[in-house]
Amino acid sequence: MGSGVYKNLIRNRDILHERTGSYLEVTKVAVRDLGRQRDVKVAPEKLTTDWRELVNDPEIDVIVELIGGDDEAFNLISAALEARKAVVTGNKAVLAKHGKRLIELSEEKNTPLYCEAAVAGGIPIIKAVKEALVGNRIDSIYGIINGTSNYILTRMTKAGINFAEALQEARDKGFAEADPSLDINGWDAGHKAIILGWLSYGRWLKPEEVSVTGIEEISAEDVAFADSLGYEIKLLGVIRQGQGDERIEVRVAPSLIPRTHILSSVDGVFNAVAVHGNVVGETLFYGSGAGQDATSSAVISDLADAAENLINEVGCTGFVPHGDYGAALPIEETLSQYYLRLSVVDEPGVLARIANITGENGIGILSVIQPEPKEPSKHIPLVLLLHDAAYGKIVDALGEILALEAVGAEHTLLRVETLEH
């Protein structure tokens, strides 16, 4: 990412000068390995392995942090703010874990912290919420905010391949890291959702308060059933606050999205974020969510803001959410519809026993699919679409259903998001 920022700063140097009235000069670059071959050539005298040289250099006005991780990045950003140097970061993990402390330090030192690149790559979603939608109460945000997982689910849907095949394809095309765990386990999107929750409602949620489920267990069978029902499965981030309820709902999970909604058509490595404001209504932001150029575009946007604010002697940039920890809506209380795939014995009365359990738990059944078995088998799939219910009630009912002798252990429970407000 650092190479992309360096390359594009040089390429668009004159355009940036025309638009900001200043030249953005890279004075020094901290790297882990001085001998590593890079896509761009940097003068050897500009390179160092100690980021403290950048923080302690009085000629440097802005620090760009793109090292990843959280603890070392936190130390770097904190030191830069203490030295009253503006900071630009693309690090969602450090903000999700330490954002409250960093924002407090930014305010204390009257030194801005910019983070556009931390969410949705090249999509200017942070600036949109901070500036364009500042006069709105945010009713909800629904986001496809991880390109790797979206590529995998797209290929499972379009090509009919399984998860392992789609993941390998993503690796082969360079869309997945050698270790893609944060992408496929949902936490890359989870960190971004925490940041969006703070921007929208002025409250930080701790990572342990946020419900995050990845896509590792999504089967080709579930993708096919979702398709037959008129849905696509997407890893979806949900950020919202109920009317009259100060608690904040932030969660990430693979969910069924109606094919009639535009988010269902977001394919490949692209990201999209649907924001509903109480004044503007629904807005949609779409674009490349990852990659060197998309991320560097967001970083350079922040650098341009930093340069303009330095010239005009502006400290913190005006938009300052409350910054304290808010109360999270417990996952057990969150509401949605559900997709439930069970493996059941093919015998009379099974569906009636299951329906009796859902009914006793106050859960209605929207529809049922029980396909004819292609070959003789003790167990066959049974798919239920369930009415809106609290997640805790669903889990309780599912426990009772799985205890039935006629129901096997294999099952899939996914949310169905209507994307209504």
User: What are the residue boundaries of the structural domains of the chain, listed by start?
Assistant: 2-114+292-324, 125-288, 332-416
Q: What CATH number is given for 125-288 in this structure?
A: 3.30.360.10
The arrangement of secondary structure in 2-114+292-324, i.e. its CATH architecture, is 3-Layer(aba) Sandwich (3.40)
Residue 404 has a pLDDT of 97
The helix-helix angle for 292-311 and 2-11 (nearest 10°) equals 60
pLDDT (tens digit, 9 = 90+) per residue, 127-145? 899 889 988 989 999 999 9
pTM: 0.90
pLDDT at 78: 97
| Averaged pLDDT, 53-74 | 93
- Of 276-285, 360-369, 375-384, the one with minimum mean pLDDT is 375-384
Which of 40-44, 52-56, 88-92, 95-99 is least confident?
Answer: 40-44
Collapsed DSSP state (helix, strand, coil) of residue 414:
strand
Query: Over 50: is that where the pLDDT of 318 sits?
Result: no
On whether the CB atoms of residues 341 and 381 are closer than 8 A, the answer is: yes
202: left (phi over 0), alpha (psi -120 to 50) or beta: left
Please check whether the two domains, 125-288 and 332-416, share a CATH topology.
Answer: no
Catalytic hit among 92, 97, 192, 234: 192
State whether residue 235 is helix, strand or coil.
Answer: strand
Closest CA to 419 of 290, 286, 232: 232
The residue-averaged pLDDT of 383-389 equals 97
Query: Is the sign of the CA dihedral 279, 282, 286, 289 positive or negative?
Result: positive
Q: What is the pLDDT of residues 220-245, one digit of tens each?
A: 999 999 999 999 999 999 999 877 77
Domain 332-416 listed as CATH 3.30.70.260: yes
- Model confidence at 321: pLDDT above 70: no
In the block, tokens 């001998």 appear at 35
Choice between 71 and 398, residue whose per-residue pLDDT is larger? 398
- Over residues 30-37, the mean pLDDT reads 87
DSSP code at position 67:
-
pLDDT at 421 > cutoff 80: no
Told to judge if 378 belongs to the known catalytic residues of this protein, a careful annotator would answer no
Which of 90, 77, 286, 93 lies closest to 183, judged by CA? 93
pLDDT mean over 99-122: 90
pLDDT of residue 325: 54
DSSP string, 101-158: HHHHHHHHTT--EE-GGGSSTTS-HHHIIIIITTTS-EEEEEEE--HHHHHHHHHHHH
Q: What is the mean pLDDT of residues 305-333?
A: 74
Q: Of all residues in the chain, what percent carry a pLDDT higher than 70?
A: 95
Backbone angles phi, psi at 263, to 5 degrees: -60, -25
| pLDDT at residue 324, rounded to an integer | 52
